[in-house]
Chains A and B, each alone.
Chain A
Amino acid sequence: MMNLQADALTSSIEMRTDAHGSEGHPAASGDYLSGQHTLADVTETISRMTETPAPRWWWYGFILSGLVTLGGIFAAVYLIVTGVGVWGLNQPVGWAFDITNLVFWIGIGHAGTLISAILFLFRQKWRTSINRFAEAMTLFAVICAGIFPTIHVGRIWMLWFFAPLPNDQAIWPQFYSPLVWDAFAIGTYFTVSLLFWYLGLVPDLATLRDRAKSRTRQVIFGILALGWRGSVRHWRHYESAYLLLAGLATPLVVSVHSVVSMDFATSVLPGWHATIFPPYFVAGAIFSGFAMVLTLMIPMRQLFKLQDYITDRHLDHMAKVLLATGLMVGYAYGVEFFSAWYSANETERFVFLNRAFGPYGWSYWIMVSCNVLVPQLFWVRRFRTNAWVLFVASILVNVGMWFERFVIIVTSLHRDFLPASWGMFVPTWVDVLQMVGAFGLFFLLLLIFVRLLPAISIAEMKLLLPHESMPGQPSAAASAAGTSTAGGSTAGASITSLSSRWPEKRTLVARFSSVASLSEALRRLADRGIAGVDAYAPYPAHELIAAMKLRRSPLPWFTLAGGLFGLTLGLLGMWYIHGVEYPIIVGGKQPGTWQGFVPVAFEMTVLFAAFATVGGLLWKCGLPKLYHPLFGVKNFERVTDDAFFVSVEEADETTARLLADAGAVELMPVEEVA
């Protein structure tokens, strides 16, 4: 018996490491979570950040960023009631701080989904402790970005013109315009990132619900968690949905900044009209996004004492990403000059010389020193793991990346083709207040986020736990049963009491203290062909899915159907608008040509595929389901913390004995709660 369990444990650990593919050596996963931790300990550390009274530094930050946000709101309201003229925009500099800030914030927003989606697909386990926070940062950065184009159009009550809605004006968005692609790209990016973020939060919201002491917290987190109960059948669909959304978000990360760059690249302005722009912008976005993650992560890890969760190895990896993307950005700066020289076009050459040595030359050199020179520090390992060096460098990189956008936009515009229409841009106080206000809003939202929601994924961190600290080794099981929670009874006692009163077949729930013993029980139940079995676990344990002999989730078919629907809807809609209802000739092409429809058709495909994936997940799991009889079972609230359960419908005494033999800590019939 003991041997069998030990074997099961070993094999299950192998499966775990296999399933999550550590880099060749299983022990390495431990390096992303230093110190000795248990399941309960992970839950406790991360949940506590949202449950204890706010620390003093939080209140200072909250009040300060709140005041700055109010300043930004004042600037926006002043602009809306007065007009865009309150900014320093002029002819020829028609875009300046507004679009600089838009591109800056959209760039910041790239790190989150890159970390959560692309690194997930590459099985980079170090993403686990930073992905939640980075995703939240992404959402808030996109919100900050959205402010600028919204108010810079002037008449914000006409914003609905962006949407292809039938209207009395019989006017439609021009789907061959990169500005419309941009609205679709950013809208889709925000929506899919939000779904991805929320999906990741659901199991953690259930944890907070089950830990909640006050009725208000119970109800709020109860509704937000959609009745998540850690069912292995649900985890199977959940993991599939998570992987699918990661796959959908990955091309989005690349597409958003490519489309933003086309706002510039498709114009015929020297300095903007360059084919290198899409990759150049994407590299810059990842560069600035990682810098912002570091700027925020380093103080957070210090203030919440999360050094075990965000280790020096994390910092090291992020510094390497900074170095790599910094080099790409530096290469792009060089290539721009080369292309200008090689084009043999006087105007093109002038623009780039003017960039470096003209009236705005100082901003060009700030950009180069912050973005190209500063990251060179990270060739040295000592600097990559030094939090202070990284913190200062990440701030400098963000300054540099802000200036990169300023340089691209303002220096290209301020020297028009005719010297008679040359001009200079000088920001007004409204420009500056609006920019500072966006930073205020960003920090305000982040501060609220770290207090309200788990800033690190609780369920995913549990997958990083090294096996030494896993509970449920045969020797530990018995003692855990006695000492765990109040009312915990030993397995022997409960089976005796049960067998004496087991009058009819009814649903039976058994608690296990480890994945190993639970999967052993599941395997035995499956061997006997017992139906109506489900298991419950605090994290997606793949060996449980295997032990239950569950088939693959059918969710990919939902994704495919949603994607095809979005693609068809997008193409048909645009063909109707520009081929039939509002024929328009752009770039000398026939009305209704398809090439210009590609970006929006892509965004529509991804958007509807994401909707279908999440909708399919909820449908297949039967969620939201706020009430379930299992929630009334003793200790079941620990299923989102450190306990494992199995439920068997219409169980008889033999089944009860089987579960007890497999190592159940506690056996309970389900009390039907009226």
Chain B
Amino acid sequence: MPTIFTPRADWWLRGIGGALIAGLVLALGALYYYASPKFTRVGYAPAQPVPFSHSIHAGRLGLDCRYCHVHVEDSPHATVPPTQTCNNCHTLVRNTDPILSQVREGWDPDPRKADAKAPIPWKRVHRVPDFAYFNHAAHVKAGVDCTSCHGPIAQMDVVRHAEPLTMGWCLDCHRHPVSTEQKVNPPQSCQGCHR
């Protein structure tokens, strides 16, 4: 009776089996690396409608963050400034520069017409999901520096997503808080953030 398989069959079986296992391990490794926010979110730096440079304003000129993000100390939201804030200076500084055309056209000096023009459609870079509650004021008041979460923002020409903002990353700090100014006790329970 002729055999069903040749001696090579066992070589093939082990080869294919080994390749499948290796492929599975590689696929899982790739999933771990490429599906993580450390890969998908860090480095996100969309081009903005107006090429606003934090490196010029916060870095070279030394503007305080709170000059534009006015509510960062007393509100959950840091606040994206209205076009008015830009024009506090830019009616006088570089007031003919074509790259600032949207800043000029998107604003009416008459305060009664403040709502008449659409705001500049800035692209959102950092986003915490709706099921996680994040409060800027609580963090700033506890002495967390802006750069802890947003990276070296004063050196960025284009804002870049510097940290993964995952739950594990939040918990790292909540479990081992470093504060020079006061004793803090950040929540680690589920409902600390999911509320």
Q: Answer yes or no: are A and B bound together in one complex.
A: yes
A binding-site residues for B, Cβ under 8 Å: 167-171, 209, 218-219, 222-223, 227, 624-628, 631-637, 673-674
With A170-B167, A171-B167 known as contacts, the answer to whether A626 contacts B1 (CB < 8 A) is: no
Q: How far is the CB of B161 from chain A (nearest CB, A)?
A: 14
B1, B2, B4 — which one has the most chain A CB atoms within 10 A of its CB? B4
A sample of 12 cross-chain residue pairs with beta-carbon separation below 8 angstroms, ordered by A number, consists of A168-B36, A168-B38, A169-B166, A170-B167, A624-B10, A626-B5, A626-B9, A627-B5, A627-B7, A631-B3, A632-B1, A636-B1
Q: Are B37 and A168 in contact (CB under 8 A)?
A: yes
A171, A627, A628, A636 — which one has the most chain B CB atoms within 10 A of its CB? A627
Is B92 in contact with chain A by the CB < 8 A criterion?
A: no
With A168-B164, A168-B167, A170-B168 known as contacts, the answer to whether A635 contacts B1 (CB < 8 A) is: yes
With A168-B38, A223-B13 known as contacts, the answer to whether A626 contacts B171 (CB < 8 A) is: no
Per-position contact with A for B1-34: 1 when CB-CB < 8 Å, else 0? Answer: 1111111111001000000000000000000000
| A-facing residues in B28-81 (Cβ within 8 Å) | 36-38
Measured in the bound complex, the distance between the Cα atoms of B38 and A433 in whole Å is: 42
Question: Please, which residues of chain A bring their CB within 8 A of the CB of B3?
Answer: 627-628, 631-632, 673
Q: How far is the CB of B171 from chain A (nearest CB, A)?
A: 5
| Chain B minimum-CB-distance residue to A629 | B3
With A625-B10, A627-B9, A627-B10 known as contacts, the answer to whether A167 contacts B4 (CB < 8 A) is: no
Per-position contact with A for B157-190: 1 when CB-CB < 8 Å, else 0? Answer: 0000000101111011000000000000000000
Q: How far is the CB of A399 from chain B (nearest CB, A)?
A: 42
Q: Are A218 and B164 in contact (CB under 8 A)?
A: no
Q: Are A167 and B168 in contact (CB under 8 A)?
A: yes
Q: Which of B1, B4, B13, B168 contacts A624 (CB 8 A)?
A: B13
Q: Are A222 and B4 in contact (CB under 8 A)?
A: yes
Residues of B in contact with A, size category: 20 to 34
A626, A631, A674 — which one has the most chain B CB atoms within 10 A of its CB? A626
Q: Are B4 and A626 in contact (CB under 8 A)?
A: yes
Q: How far is the CB of A325 from chain B (nearest CB, A)?
A: 42
Measured in the bound complex, the distance between the Cα atoms of B56 and A424 in whole Å is: 65
Q: Are B1 and A627 in contact (CB under 8 A)?
A: no
Q: Are B4 and A170 in contact (CB under 8 A)?
A: no
Question: Please, which residues of chain B bring their CB within 8 A of the CB of A637?
Answer: 1
Question: Please, which residues of chain A bring their CB within 8 A of the CB of B168?
Answer: 167-170
Q: Are B1 and A631 in contact (CB under 8 A)?
A: yes
| Chain B minimum-CB-distance residue to A223 | B13
With A168-B38, A222-B5 known as contacts, the answer to whether A626 contacts B167 (CB < 8 A) is: no
Measured in the bound complex, the distance between the Cα atoms of B169 and A636 in whole Å is: 64
Q: Are B167 and A633 in contact (CB under 8 A)?
A: no
Question: Please, which residues of chain B bring their CB within 8 A of the CB of A227?
Answer: 5, 10
Q: Are A169 and B4 in contact (CB under 8 A)?
A: no
Total A-B pairs in contact (CB under 8 Å)? 60
A170, A628, A633, A635 — which one has the most chain B CB atoms within 10 A of its CB? A170
Measured in the bound complex, the distance between the Cα atoms of B47 and A297 in whole Å is: 69
Q: Which of B1, B4, B164 contacts A209 (CB 8 A)?
A: B4
Measured in the bound complex, the distance between the Cα atoms of B4 and A637 in whole Å is: 11
Measured in the bound complex, the distance between the Cα atoms of B134 and A619 in whole Å is: 56
Question: Please, which residues of chain B bring their CB within 8 A of the CB of A167?
Answer: 168
Measured in the bound complex, the distance between the Cα atoms of B127 and A362 in whole Å is: 54
Measured in the bound complex, the distance between the Cα atoms of B9 and A209 in whole Å is: 16
Question: Please, which residues of chain A bring their CB within 8 A of the CB of B7?
Answer: 627, 673-674
Q: How far is the CB of B143 from chain A (nearest CB, A)?
A: 23
Question: Please, which residues of chain A bring their CB within 8 A of the CB of B13?
Answer: 223, 624, 626
**Known pairs A169-B168, A218-B4, A634-B1. 9 more at Cβ < 8 A?**
A168-B37, A168-B38, A219-B4, A222-B4, A222-B5, A227-B10, A632-B1, A632-B2, A637-B1
| Chain A minimum-CB-distance residue to B189 | A584
Question: Please, which residues of chain B bring their CB within 8 A of the CB of A633?
Answer: 1
Question: Please, which residues of chain B bring their CB within 8 A of the CB of A636?
Answer: 1
Q: How far is the CB of B49 from chain A (nearest CB, A)?
A: 31
Q: How far is the CB of B186 from chain A (nearest CB, A)?
A: 14
| Chain B minimum-CB-distance residue to A631 | B3
Q: Are B4 and A631 in contact (CB under 8 A)?
A: yes
| Chain B minimum-CB-distance residue to A635 | B1
Question: Please, which residues of chain B bring their CB within 8 A of the CB of A169?
Answer: 166-168
Question: Please, which residues of chain B bring their CB within 8 A of the CB of A626?
Answer: 4-5, 9-10, 13
| Chain A minimum-CB-distance residue to B171 | A170
Question: Please, which residues of chain A bring their CB within 8 A of the CB of B5?
Answer: 219, 222, 227, 626-627, 631
Question: Please, which residues of chain B bring their CB within 8 A of the CB of A631?
Answer: 1, 3-5
Q: Are A168 and B2 in contact (CB under 8 A)?
A: no
Measured in the bound complex, the distance between the Cα atoms of B14 and A624 in whole Å is: 9
Measured in the bound complex, the distance between the Cα atoms of B36 and A628 in whole Å is: 48
| Chain B minimum-CB-distance residue to A673 | B3
Q: How far is the CB of A618 from chain B (nearest CB, A)?
A: 12
Question: Please, which residues of chain B bring their CB within 8 A of the CB of A170?
Answer: 166-168, 171-172
Question: Please, which residues of chain B bring their CB within 8 A of the CB of A627?
Answer: 3, 5-10
Question: Please, which residues of chain A bring their CB within 8 A of the CB of B9?
Answer: 626-627
| Chain A minimum-CB-distance residue to B166 | A168
Measured in the bound complex, the distance between the Cα atoms of B7 and A673 in whole Å is: 9
Question: Please, which residues of chain A bring their CB within 8 A of the CB of B2?
Answer: 632, 673
Measured in the bound complex, the distance between the Cα atoms of B37 and A168 in whole Å is: 8
Measured in the bound complex, the distance between the Cα atoms of B168 and A356 in whole Å is: 50
| Chain A minimum-CB-distance residue to B12 | A626
Measured in the bound complex, the distance between the Cα atoms of B168 and A170 in whole Å is: 4
Measured in the bound complex, the distance between the Cα atoms of B167 and A167 in whole Å is: 10
Q: How far is the CB of B127 from chain A (nearest CB, A)?
A: 16
Measured in the bound complex, the distance between the Cα atoms of B6 and A94 in whole Å is: 59
Q: How far is the CB of B118 from chain A (nearest CB, A)?
A: 35
Measured in the bound complex, the distance between the Cα atoms of B109 and A450 in whole Å is: 83
| Chain B minimum-CB-distance residue to A219 | B4
Question: Please, which residues of chain A bring their CB within 8 A of the CB of B169?
Answer: 168
Q: How far is the CB of A593 from chain B (nearest CB, A)?
A: 19
Measured in the bound complex, the distance between the Cα atoms of B11 and A625 in whole Å is: 10
Measured in the bound complex, the distance between the Cα atoms of B173 and A170 in whole Å is: 12
Please list the 6 inter-chain residue pairs (A to B) with the smallest Cβ-Cβ separation, ordered nearest first.
A170-B168, A168-B166, A626-B5, A631-B3, A169-B167, A626-B9
Question: Please, which residues of chain A bring their CB within 8 A of the CB of B37?
Answer: 168
Measured in the bound complex, the distance between the Cα atoms of B9 and A624 in whole Å is: 11
Q: How far is the CB of A225 from chain B (nearest CB, A)?
A: 10
| Chain A minimum-CB-distance residue to B37 | A168
Q: How far is the CB of B115 from chain A (nearest CB, A)?
A: 38
Measured in the bound complex, the distance between the Cα atoms of B5 and A624 in whole Å is: 12
Q: How far is the CB of A167 from chain B (nearest CB, A)?
A: 7
| Chain B minimum-CB-distance residue to A226 | B13
Q: How far is the CB of A389 from chain B (nearest CB, A)?
A: 48
Q: How far is the CB of B165 from chain A (nearest CB, A)?
A: 10
Question: Please, which residues of chain B bring their CB within 8 A of the CB of A209?
Answer: 4
Question: Please, which residues of chain B bring their CB within 8 A of the CB of A632?
Answer: 1-3
Measured in the bound complex, the distance between the Cα atoms of B7 and A674 in whole Å is: 8
Measured in the bound complex, the distance between the Cα atoms of B171 and A169 in whole Å is: 9
Measured in the bound complex, the distance between the Cα atoms of B168 and A219 in whole Å is: 49
Question: Please, which residues of chain B bring their CB within 8 A of the CB of A223?
Answer: 13
| Chain A minimum-CB-distance residue to B172 | A170
Measured in the bound complex, the distance between the Cα atoms of B3 and A171 in whole Å is: 54
Measured in the bound complex, the distance between the Cα atoms of B9 and A626 in whole Å is: 7
Measured in the bound complex, the distance between the Cα atoms of B59 and A48 in whole Å is: 84
Q: How far is the CB of B17 from chain A (nearest CB, A)?
A: 9
Question: Please, which residues of chain B bring their CB within 8 A of the CB of A628?
Answer: 3
Measured in the bound complex, the distance between the Cα atoms of B37 and A167 in whole Å is: 11
Measured in the bound complex, the distance between the Cα atoms of B2 and A633 in whole Å is: 8
